[in-house]
Structures are given as C-alpha cells and as structure tokens.
Copies of this chain bind each other. A is one copy, B any other.
Amino acid sequence: MEPLTEKQQQIFNLIKAALAADGRRPSQREIARQAGLAQNSVYQIIRYLKQKGYLVDLGGHRGVRLSAEYLDSLPPKRGIPIVGQVAAGQPVLAQQNIEGYVEIKDLLGLSDDVFLLRVRGDSMTDEGIMDGDYVAVKPASTAQNGRIAVVLLDDEATVKKVYVQKNRIALEPANRAAGYKTQYVKRTDKDIRIIGNVIGCLRKLK
C-alpha cells in the first residue's frame, strides 16, 4: 500500500487506538482534540487516508471504517509461525525464515465434533503414538481399512489400526519391538464399537 506521511500515520494510529480501546470509531472532533488540531484538519487528513485506501466510506453518516485492503496487509498476528529453511546468521524468527502462520486447529483440520483422547500404552509407538499422547478423534461409526482408529472394546477405548473384515474386526498394533500381536474380534463375540478415526496426534514434552 502507498505509504503514509508522518501526520497521516499519526491520525491513523489514533483511529486504530480508539478502535482497539472500546471498539468505537472516534469522531473527527475527538481525534482533533487528541492531536491538538482543528476538526477540519482531521477531515483533510482523513480524505488522504481514504484516497490512499486505508479507510473506506461505507456511506451514510459516520460510515468510515478501516479498509479490508489495510486489514489484509497486516502481519497475520494470529497463529503460530512455521519456520521453513533457516538462513545462516539470521535469527530463527526472522521474517525470511517464516513460511507462514497457522492456527493449530487449522493445521490439524479440527472440526467441531473432534475430541481428544489420551493414549495409554505403547502399542502404537511405531506410528509415533506414544504413551500419554493425545490423539484427535473424529467420530465415525465405521473405519476405513488400515486407518488408525479408536474402538471401544469391553468399555475400554483403544487406539489401533483397524481392518473391518467379513465377520470380524482386526486390531493391528504398531510396536514390533514389544511384539504386540494383531487382535481379531468377532462382532458377535465381544462388545466392540468403532468410535472414530484418529486425525491427529499431539504430545507435550517437558
């Protein structure tokens, strides 16, 4: 966007400050008082701010707002920065190293019905799901074959790779070292229920 002069920036900052303070757009006279100017000086400067695209006039009385153009140009302060390549001799969080900003929810693709389940046991460590991890689960009554899912087996929620077969369900662990074996459960045999698919995994380290 076209840069602002010092004075224009000052007035623009006053407007933003007032908006941040109480969500209320200050009148030209309020701004003028703070800046020690006459109302019409502010009017003139606002004309430039509109002209340069920082403000838009929605029409009607007192209809001037921050423009979408300006809001879009703001550094996306929300979310967590993702660092890509790290350039030599630069601080890690230097602008050039940052690939973008994300919300963790977006990153994991979390929707409203997703819940977290704390994993117990080490039966899925080969898939990077460790004891104590949280898995994000999207509720579903069926599971795609080979997907990691949560099933309720004898009142216990377990996380396994699930294969639905003819008359049974295979629950495949992922821990070769410990030698867990695939468990086959007949639908008629035990009380088994598929709860949902695991769509993410997260862990806090200390």
A interface residues with partner B (beta carbon < 8 Å): 22-24, 27, 58, 61-63, 65, 80-88, 92-93, 98, 102, 104-105, 107-110, 113-118, 125-130, 133-134, 136-137, 139, 147-148, 152, 155-157, 191, 195-206
A58, B130: Cα distance in complex, Å: 51
Query: What's the minimum C-beta distance from A26 to chain B, rounded to whole angstroms?
Result: 10
A83 adjacent to B115 (CB under 8 Å) = yes
Query: What's the minimum C-beta distance from A206 to chain B, rounded to whole angstroms?
Result: 8
How many copies altogether?
A: 2
A87, B154: Cα distance in complex, Å: 10
Instruction: Say whether, besides A128-B128, A202-B200, A205-B198, A152 and B86 are in contact (CB < 8 Å).
Output: yes
B202 adjacent to A92 (CB under 8 Å) = no
A204 in complex: contacting residue of B58, B109, B113, B126, CB < 8 Å = B109
A139 adjacent to B92 (CB under 8 Å) = yes
List chain B residues, Cβ under 8 A from A136.
80
A102, B110: Cα distance in complex, Å: 13
Query: What's the minimum C-beta distance from A106 to chain B, rounded to whole angstroms?
Result: 10
List chain B residues, Cβ under 8 A from A128.
125, 128-130, 133, 203
A156, B85: Cα distance in complex, Å: 7
Q: List 12 A-B contacts (CB under 8 A).
A: A24-B63, A80-B116, A82-B115, A82-B118, A83-B137, A83-B157, A86-B152, A86-B195, A93-B113, A128-B130, A200-B205, A201-B205
Query: What's the minimum C-beta distance from A76 to chain B, rounded to whole angstroms?
Result: 14
B116 adjacent to A83 (CB under 8 Å) = yes
A202, B137: Cα distance in complex, Å: 14
List chain B residues, Cβ under 8 A from A61.
27
Which residue on chain B has the smallest CB distance to residue A139?
B92
List chain B residues, Cβ under 8 A from A93.
113, 115, 139
